Structure 1
Amino acid sequence: MSDRILIVQLFAGLILIMAGKTTSCHIELSPSTVVVKYGDRVSVNCSTSLSNITGMGLESPVEGTGAENTTHLIWTVDSLTEWDIEPLCYVVAPDGNDCTKKIQVIVYSFPENISISSSSLNSVMTEGETHNFTCEIPNIAPVRKLTVRWYKDDKLVHENELNSPSKKPTNQSSFYVFFPRRQDNRATFRCEAFMDLGPDGPQLNLSSQDYSIEVLFGPDIDCSGLIVQEGETLEGKCLVAGNPMPEVEWLKNGLPTNLSIPLGRNDTGIYTVKAEGRFEVTKTIQISVFYGPEKTCQSTLTIPEHTPRISCTGGSPQPLEIWYKDDVEVKLPKNLTRRDAGQYFIRSFNNVSSINFTVNVIVLYPPTDIVELENAEVQFGDTLDLKCSSMGGPQPDYSWTYYQMANVMEKKQDGVSHLIVKNATGLNMGSYTCHAGNQEGNVSKTVRVTVKGAKQECPIQIIPDTMVLQYQSWAQQAACIPMSTESSNVKKIYWKANHRRTNGTEWTPDTEDDWDPHPVCHGVFNGIGECHKPLHYTLYNLMGENNTRCSKSEVRSPVNVSCTTNITLKRTHNDVNIRCEARLNLPPAGGHPPPSVFSDSLNISVCYKPEINTTKLADTVPLITGYDEDLVCEADGRQPLSISWSYMSASGPKNSFNKTLRVSAAGYYNCTVSNPCGSTTHMVKVIFKEDYLPLIAGFVALTVIIISIIFVFIYSIYYKNTKMRRYSLKNPKLSTHHGNVAHNGWDTQFPMTKLS
């Protein structure tokens, strides 16, 4: 029957394929899948919704049917004992569209007991060795639905799915490879058989008995994370583990150590821990006794720049330091610089304790480049302030190199050095060098100061400044001395004469040979450098009264004869005519006078610098308040003369090129007269002088007025009481007062009548 159905199905499928059509099989199974325990009853309904069928049947080795004229069949087996059964329900249609549906039947068998065992002897295992657990599961089907689960202390540690295709009962074994550790000592293992038969069947599970193990290990010495604080003991500091439990002994330098004695920081060292169990184990450890942070810095810490990062606390372990500056946490750089100077608050701590303190860090560093000092220009007579500023640790000290004068003052203010030049003159021109230095180094800067309205002066004085010597006379010395008494101004003074250098401040000429030595005094000064002044030197020879020196020859033949006279020119020689006479003195012959001839006249023009007439222009001129004064500058000298006045006014420097200068204010007025031969300057000091004449005149007038008023007042009183009038003596009445009789406190004895 099954062969016929199979043929029908194959034929129907072939027809459908050839026709290119598909059709659905209208067979319904309830349930579609049957899960049944071996030997239990099973029942499945098979029906169709088709009405035009030829028949319906069940194809099964147990309780199968042939084709019946019905649309509903029930396949029932009271005790199913077939493991590999696949019943079919089919429908035969008149049009040949037959179809079939397989009934899914799962027959299972599940054991009542499973067992667990291991490869170890008496459940004793050694740490690190491989051990196998075996789970025995008897008489189970189907195997492909079986999962074996392994539990350690009720925690799932492994899962094994068995995939045997056999549908019949078999005995199965599951294996679990285990590497025991010391933590696994006294652990309990079990295996569990789990069968999931899908949504149409039950979920079956069964556990074995518990299996407890003992793990042998050690002895092991674990001193990791060993922390010993000062005052603590070594008891319990190292964990010594083992099964069986080992015996422990501590040694230091080969001698036993009492673990109950508190340790101090000096007990730091190397210790040996010996443990005896299954075998003997020793371990050498370095023990550091920990203690809290301790301050190691002074409250003020002075260090050179670029010093490596510093630590201000000690302790064990090394404390962690947190530095704060201005309440902000900072991290010090690898090398400290000047920017890191200041006051810090330090919080230091380790796992023992913590401390807080403050430290003032002073960083030493050489002075920085000088700032605020530049080349300067100042007006003659004004004030100049040169500033020199530098930063350093500690604050640099300042010094100046310049041509020192009384009008220059040094002052330090707010870390800046000031060099103040008052009433600047030509001697203040030159270089000024500021030096800034501390114990770490030195810097300097040089600038140039120019005084407008003044010339650079050479501070040398030659005594005498003019030397006129007679030929072969006694020698005279010329001394060259500095004008300033500050010895620090002078670096060197020497003479040059006859193109040779003479060391020293004095020079003595040779009155026989030094006709034109060109003596010059040289000086080297701070701020000015090298400068020089010449000595006006003249060597002369007097030959007879005419002050002449002539070359003579005894040769009779014609010769050239020259005669020289030396004249020291003065300004009075200007425009003088000079001529020479050559006279041939021959013996008298024929009464003729000796022959003579005169040279052409030589007009001498003497160039001399002007000389101011100081009789008309005094050094000090009084100025009466409210009046102007005329300053007259006259001079004698080679024409043309140029006269100019220079002075300071409220609006600044002033110049006038008139001979007469009208002044109305006190001050210093310089008259300069120049011509092609030189110039001469004369300074006039104008001072205020009060004019007391008007004051005196006013006082006298006031006195006269007051006296006059007093005199008039006194006279008026006196006249009133003593004034005289005209009276008549006719018909006098004695002892009778009359209204016309004048009385002055007394009675007259003469009768009088008033005259009209």
Structure 2
Amino acid sequence: MGHSNTYNMLQRFYGLVYFSAVLLFVTLTGTQAECPVQLNPQRAVVRYEGSVEVNCSTSVPHKGLGWEASEGAVPMARDKMMIAWRVSHLTEWDIQPFCYINYERQCQVELPVIIYKTPDSVSISIVDHSGPMIEGQQYELQCDVHDVAPVQYLTVKWYKGQTLLDKTTFTEYIKTPVNENATLLIRPDRADGGAQYRCEAELELGAEGPQPPPKKTSEPLNINVYFFLVNNFYAFILCSSMCLTGTQAECPVQLNPQRAVVRYGGSVAVNCRASVPHKGLGWEASEGAVPMTRDKMMITWRVSHLTEWDIQPFCYINHEEQCQVELPVTIYKYPDSVSISIVDHSGPMIEGRQYELQCDVHDVAPVQYLTVKWYKGQTLLDKTTFTEDSKTPVNETATLLIRPDRADGGAQYRCEAELELGAEGPQPPPKKTSEPLNINVYFKLIINENKLPSIVPVFRGYPEVLVCEAEGNPKPTISWILGTNVIVYNETLTISESTPEHVYCTSDNSVGRATRQVNVSIQGNYAFVSFFYIPIILGIFVAVVVAISVIFIFIYIYLTNYKKTKTGHYDVKEANAHKELLAQPVPP
């Protein structure tokens, strides 16, 4: 008996030492979750005057859980493991709600809220010009976007017909509605007569925002282009009243195409056509210059291997005086590599914490046409554009903030570098994608309450087995606390009438701890007696029913046979013979 007590004491002592060591390790390594609450969703995107609902849940016992917000605040509750922040008509642009918990200390997690508003109107116009355009001259289009928010998520797209020409983004960080405008330079040619230009305002709000992104498009702008006709070296001007108003083109040459988009080291060919008789036509360029000629109405600038980033070719003509038209040249280069990484972190991520992803794009040009797109799986999360005006290759980085949850375990993030070079560029736009970044998410524990009820009845003499299962990553350690000194490390626990009134299942991993209290209800002897004699009582009841059934069967058979005997046939002759036999004297 003494040896057994000593063994039990040693077992309890070593259990306490191990349990304390685990707690100390978690504390010293600082891997415990900063605040044991989880928001779902983790970012709210709400239309102005729309409704919003976000849940805040916890898996740990607490002294209070609540929401603080200038609209929809939720008072602190002690008896709930989840509370919801709700606003049916959100109108505060700068709202900053947060969920707080009184645990070992009070802490809070803020909810990022983006309130958006689609523009009241989108319109397109020509800056400082009315009437027909002149072939070869440059004009400026303007797109006006009225009362839109937030502007940093706004993209203005320019179209000619169904062709995307360019995109304009905005870097201002303003939450309230503003008016914005974007501009586009065009140089129409004779083929553009009757062309329709339009601009489109789109709010790209990320994965939590509406899909597809909300957009509003201007009415189309129809343009009329006046151009020159050449026939046998005689120039006739199709200008109607233009000749009187002085709107003739400044230099009578036409470039085709009007803008060159060339891959670095690739070839290029652009025609320059004169629309009037001339004394000389030529190309001036640091590569591919064409000497002046008098006997041609069209000459071509050609380079088979273009490597000069800042080339500025122009076509010139000697007419009444010498004039020239410059050719805009965009030389592009695919990035050598695109890679994705986590900034200042390695290993698994912790649920609910914020991390920064970085996309590195090496040796790309021109950067002002670069867009970095962020994906989780096949879902587009965000886009990053660049405003630097650099023609030569550069290295660029873009970043994205994420706050993973348990559903993100095994998720693949990637970034994609795309060069959107306009209608003259390659279609579809050239792009290069990083290798996927697989993330592992450590998350807080949730004990399966279906398998472990909060109250368990125990009948005397009949032990019960409790099962404690917990979901968590990394795999949790399960322990039971009985009273103040006994700790059992196992997923199951057998309890009986000698078990303390309160039993605690504790689940631990490097992220945190979850605890569930089980109240043990000992049932009295009457319950045991009733439980014990239920089979006997049922057996007696069945036996009585069977006996009664047998008796009724025998009575039924007897009555049936008796009735047949009483109602049989009576033979008169046989009866008289029987009487005569009885009347004869008996011999002595």
Report the TM range for the smaller structure's normalisation: 0.3 to 0.5
Q: TM-score when scaled to structure 1?
A: 0.30
| Greater gyration radius | 1
Q: Which has the higher contact order (CA 8 A, sep 6+)?
A: 2
Instruction: Please identify which structure carries the higher helix content.
Output: 2
